[in-house]
Structure 1
């Protein structure tokens, strides 16, 4: 059966209800027929013009001051890439045939993003439902009935709720900035790796507070050897950043004195029992011995490191996996395993934000990682780290943060 040819421009024009498209600069790009009819404007009066040049505020009616709320809602959509539903608002429209004469209107707006190929907001879908007649009908002919009073009270509470929501958004944005600054201050630059190259990356989640629980570390060991670790604290924001800092510092100290990564994780697990918010943290630690060309590793509930051999084959280090920190009541020894490596191989440690997707099996993400590593294996660590982020993270970002270490052996 042949698929029907759909004229989406015709569909847009015929959509029931008022719908307009605006650029990220809030300039009209298009409007459907209902929008033009109910707003009392022609297409030529809208297209290519700034929204508030076409629809300025009523200067004589403070209750109709909806321009700021509308502008901030649209700019939030551009900034976050998320849909924004506004509270009921009054926004009067000037009669185009009688300048200076305003018509009272009540609207229920929703603004939604249309993403471009690069994941950025290319257009804003501005859908508004006019409820003016409903508001007037509930108020009765004289406008002084109890229903009219209740409607006015509901409208006032809706505006207050929108103000509360805006303050909450600002508070969340501030906490996110503080948490990211704290995260950046606690995550180290690549440590001493001798003649070997290392690259580190931290990619925060987009448009969410689900950040600052991931960490990475490179610790110099006796004999010019190196401990490399990544971890992931359950939680987000300032709390997760604080817990992350405590666990990273504790593991760094443990790696310097423990006889192997398993004992280092055992010490970290005992410490985690006394840190609120540390339960269920996942972490993997690897000890790299340059003299023997071996990697000794131990994993506490974390995704396996990837060892990229010079011939392009990938080995996932998954033979020493144990539950996350503080996940069982009794203390038991943690396992560790050892694997050889060839000079020129690459060791990659990462957190789940790099590969996990809610609608996919974890093996799909691991396969995607292996494919990217094989294709870019000859790249220097800095270039390889950027390639992995470009290949594996969605253009619009993820809901989880990502930590990554690439070490050339």
Structure 2
């Protein structure tokens, strides 16, 4: 069978189709796109989409550019196709600069993955529907078609206004949830000669404030601290509120528990009576600086990472159990311990740091281990910044991320 010439297929696709990179620069455009847009391939390829097709400056209500840009960014960030609502997007006549033609479009944006599985390109398919909703020809036009045009345009504007109100409401909720999270999460601190660094990065998008949390507490008896991270399923104010309840409960139980497993036992029982705590996860470590040991227990959470001074990596995964509320009658959770030497580094984190769509979690864990080893001689603050820079997507992650670094 002869090899398919996909470049020729792309050019022959019916309808307007263009390919852009993640910076929204045109990479290619098929014949129909060039013909119907009135732009040659040379006028498109290598140029930013909104330099080629800006909003009509004579229409102060124009929103086409911002709507298309938001859709393409959603595709880049989520890796999912985005079908847009009907758009009015006027186009400047290339043969008559300053003259804008009223046009209506139905766009769909789809991701194209690169060899690494990440979004490398955006396939931008557009159907022009101007003739369906606008009748040319002045007074001789069909009155029913004019009524349909007016109705469709009115409904499109109403939908845009509703979407804007929803966006503003979600943005306000996001601000309140972030403020609540920041108020409840402790700042990093120095414990004796041992320094820590903490980071919290909210998810991208107004709807995606989640319930990630971390905690550091002084433990009774000896030179010990408890370090924990956790993750509540859900978004917005409700998730932030549940996060606060679980964090406070684990903080209190850690101070009186005989070990991390018992602290999670207590937290699991408490999670059963907290609405919204379903499937919540947590991991807690008790660090004894005098004995140079770390005791740990995990309730369905990704394992902490211990990087020894010589660069050896140890995942603390020998005491992993189900999420907090998984059992109606909780049983004692497992607990394990490990030793460390001077100069070791402990990292606890939430899954937003390592998980990526359509990627095995082991790939993310390996990426985290490599970053921790490479920067293990940096200060905790420098190390935390380097890890976030190397692991989080440039535009931000679609899930919250919490990170705690402890220099042992």
Question: TM > 0.5 between the two?
Answer: yes
Q: 1:72 aligns with which of 61, 66, 70?
A: 66
Whether the aligned pair in 1 keeps the contact of 2:55 and 2:64 (CA below 8 Å) is no
1:349 and 2:343 aligned: no
Please give the alpha-carbon distance, in whole angstroms, between the structure 2 residues aligned to 1:399 and 1:54: 29
CA–CA distance in structure 1, aligned partners of residues 157 and 281 of structure 2: 44
Distance in structure 2 (CA, Å) of the matches to 1:319 and 1:94: 64
Deviates more, 1:373-382 or 1:72-81: 72-81
Match of 1:88 in 2: 86
Determine the C-alpha separation between the residues in 1 that align with 2:103 and 2:204: 36
Matches of 1:393 and 1:206 in 2, distance apart?
A: 11
Indicate how the Cα distance of structure 1 residues 75 and 170 shifts in structure 2: closer, same or farther if over 3 A, else same: farther
Alpha-carbon distance between aligned partners in 2 of 1:21 and 1:34, rounded to the nearest angstrom: 13
> 2:127 aligns to what SS in structure 1?
strand
Correspondences of 1:26-37 after superposition (within 5 Å):
none
State which drifts further: 208-217 or 397-406. Answer: 208-217
Contact 2:135 2:145 in 1 (8 A): no
Q: Distance in 2 between matches of 1:150 and 1:341?
A: 74
Corresponding residue for residue 153 of structure 1:
151
Match of 1:243 in 2: 242
Contact 1:376/1:384, CA 8 A, preserved across alignment: yes
Decide which of 122, 126, 129 is 2:127's aligned counterpart.
129
SS in 1 for 2:62: helix
Contact 2:260 2:284 (8 Å CA) reproduced? yes
More moved, 351-360 vs 91-100 = 91-100
CA distance in 2, matches of 1:384, 1:407: 10
Pairwise CA distance, 1:95 = 7.1
1:90, distance to aligned residue in structure 2 (A): 4.9
Determine helix, strand or coil for the equivalent of 2:205: coil
The answer as to whether partners of 2:305 and 2:316 remain within 8 angstroms in 1 is yes
Q: Matches of 1:94 and 1:340 in 2, distance apart?
A: 69
d(CA) in 1 for partners of 2:319, 2:204: 33
Q: Distance in 1 between matches of 2:333 and 2:97?
A: 79
How far has the Cα of 1:162 moved from its partner? 2.5
Structure 1's 88 and 400: CA in aligned 2 closer, same or farther, altered over 3 A?
closer
Mean CA deviation greater in 70-79 or 362-371:
70-79
Mean alpha-carbon deviation: is it higher for 142-151 or for 368-377? Answer: 142-151
Which residue of structure 1 lines up, in the alignment, with residue 400 of structure 2? 401
Please give the alpha-carbon distance, in whole angstroms, between the structure 2 residues aligned to 1:381 and 1:69.
45
Q: Could you tell me how far apart the structure 2 residues matched to 1:124 and 1:358 are?
A: 17
Alignment of 1:4-403 (within 5 A): 17=15, 38=36, 55-57=56-58, 67-74=61-68, 76=70, 86-90=84-88, 105-109=103-107, 128-135=126-133, 142-146=140-144, 148-207=146-205, 209-222=207-220, 223-403=222-402
Q: Deviations over 1:352-386 (max 9, x none)?
A: 11112232333332233222222222222122212
For 2:195 and 2:296, the matched residues in 1 are separated by 20
Q: Tell whether the 8 Å contact from 1:45 to 1:54 is kept in structure 2 after alignment.
A: no
Name the CA shift for 1:346/1:90 in 2 (closer, same or farther; >3 Å). closer
The answer on whether the counterparts of 2:306 and 2:316 sit within 8 Å (CA) in structure 1 is yes
**Structure-2 change in CA distance of 1:98 and 1:403 (3 Å):** closer
SS class of match (1:266):
helix
Quick one: structure 1 residues 237 and 14, their matched pair in 2 at CA, closer, same or farther if it must change by over 3 Å?
Answer: same
Q: Secondary structure at the match of 2:176?
A: helix
Asked if the contact 1:86/1:162 (under 8 Å) is kept, the reply is no
Q: Deviations over 1:172-206 (max 9, x none)?
A: 22222222222112111124511101111112222
Gap regions ≥5 residues in structure 1: 58-64, 116-120
Q: How many residues are matched?
A: 396
Higher mean displacement: 200-209 or 242-251: 200-209
Deviations 1:32-81 (A, max 9, x none): 87567546678999989967888444xxxxxxx58522143145358765
CA gap 1:239/1:290 in 2 versus in 1, 3 angstroms: same
CA 1:132–1:66: 2 relative to 1, 3 Å: farther
TM-score scaled by length of structure 1: 0.78
Q: Is the 8 A contact 1:27 1:50 kept in 2?
A: no
CA distance in 2, matches of 1:358, 1:91: 32
Query: Does structure 2 conserve the Cα–Cα contact (< 8 Å) formed by 1:52 and 1:67?
Result: no
Distance in 1 (CA, whole Å) between partners of 2:153 and 2:338 is: 67
1:234–1:139 CA distance, 2 compared to 1 (3 A): farther
CA 1:134 to 1:78, structure 2 compared with 1: closer, same or farther past 3 Å?
closer
> Which one is further off, 23-32 or 278-287?
23-32
Q: In 2, are the aligned partners of 1:89 and 1:107 still within 8 Å (CA)?
A: yes
